[in-house]
Amino acid sequence: MNSKRVVVAMSGGVDSSVTAALFKDRGFEVIGITMQIWERSEDWGDCGALRGTEDAERVADKLRIPHHVVNLRNTFKEKVIANFCEEYRKGKTPNPCIRCNQYIKFGALLKKAKELGAVYIATGHYARIEYDKDKKRYLLKRGVDHKKDQSYVLYAMAQEQLKHTLMPLGEFAKEKVRQMAEGLDLPVARRPESQNICFIPDDDYGKFVQSYLSEEITPGPILNKKGETIGRHKGIIFYTIGQRKGIGISAKKPLYVTGIDKKTNAIFVGRKKEVYSQELIANKVNFIAIKELKEPLKVEAKIRYLHQATSAIVFPLDKNKVLVKFEKPRWALTPGQAVVFYNGDTVIGGGTIFKTEKK
């Protein structure tokens, strides 16, 4: 394989386009690649949609680099969409971007890059990858622009994936990247950022899941902390922990979703203070900076993409599970979401929130 040949995952957005331009400028043989996850007629979101593919082609033409479109519709539906809907059916709130990175961008696309004779795949993520010679491990670190840092959704990457991945934008601020795009006169330089999940452009998760699942969505009871029925919900797929709007119950003080029980098809509601938790158990744990966790470890733990990381201690449990105890109660610890552990800018690892404990 050619170490000067790099395949750039191009979504048609500003970040991946600048990434391609950077490697072209650095003397690499650049090949653009775009994943097609929808039918050409389905113009949903940015990733793998018609508009994104066409924009990526325009940028590739501008940079005079070859561009390939890879059909990953079946893989995406199997690994990302099916899992997303199944988790919602179970009353959980998943983050599909994590699985997309794990199985699609650094799974299927990386495989395609190797087939094209490239050692590396490059992406427009705001994160950094470094090699620690002493530990003999690849490390994942926050991007220098902490406001745009994307390391949270990359914690599931394996050492072999990190070894063959380049993320040059981790060294830049977003504003600088935008300026670079304009300076290069890239056709997508002024393209706005997408804030939604790529396959749910209208942000209506419940509606999407309902249309995907073959089974009927069943309404059920809304219970207070005493277990008393105080209303009816329209189906657990429409609710998440900490939700206030759309519960449909009149009360003197605001009510929030505090729990979801798939077995009884019930949701629990309570006051704002009841949404706070101080402990959680995470499963499907992946460590990056260390091989395994053998003893309790002080970390900064992040429970959502846009949340600040806060002090916690991680305790090893059975294989692939950990107990996380936060220094202070956290708002809306949500099963299905990721909890990611940091030491400064370095990602120690992370996992999926399995259950929480109120303290």
pLDDT of residue 297: 99
pTM: 0.93
Binding-site residues for ATP sit at 9-16, 35, 124
Q: Position 166: which residue type?
A: L
129 Cα distance to chain centroid: 17
Binding-site residues sit at 9-16, 35, 124
Alpha-helical (H) ranges within the chain are 14-25, 50-63, 73-76, 82-89, 96-99, 109-115, 159-163, 174-183, 205-212
pLDDT of residue 231: 96
Q: Nearest 10 degrees: CA dihedral of 259, 260, 265, 270? A: 30
Tell me the domains of the chain and their CATH numbers: 2-183 (3.40.50.620), 216-270 (2.30.30.280), 276-357 (2.40.30.10)
pLDDT of residue 2: 64
What is d(CA 151, CA 158) in angstroms, rounded to the nearest whole number? 13
Integer angstrom CA distances of residue 171 from 85, 149, 188, 227, 329: 35, 10, 21, 52, 33
- Catalytic residue at 100? yes
- Catalytic residue at 47? no
pLDDT in 10s for each residue of the chain, 359 residues: 667 899 999 999 999 999 999 999 999 999 999 998 866 445 555 555 567 889 999 999 999 999 999 999 999 999 999 999 999 999 999 999 999 999 999 999 999 999 999 999 999 999 999 999 999 999 999 999 999 999 999 999 999 999 999 999 999 999 999 999 999 999 998 887 776 677 776 778 888 898 888 778 999 999 999 999 999 999 999 999 999 998 989 888 999 999 999 999 999 999 999 999 999 999 999 999 999 999 999 999 999 998 999 999 999 998 899 999 999 999 999 999 999 999 999 999 999 999 998 65
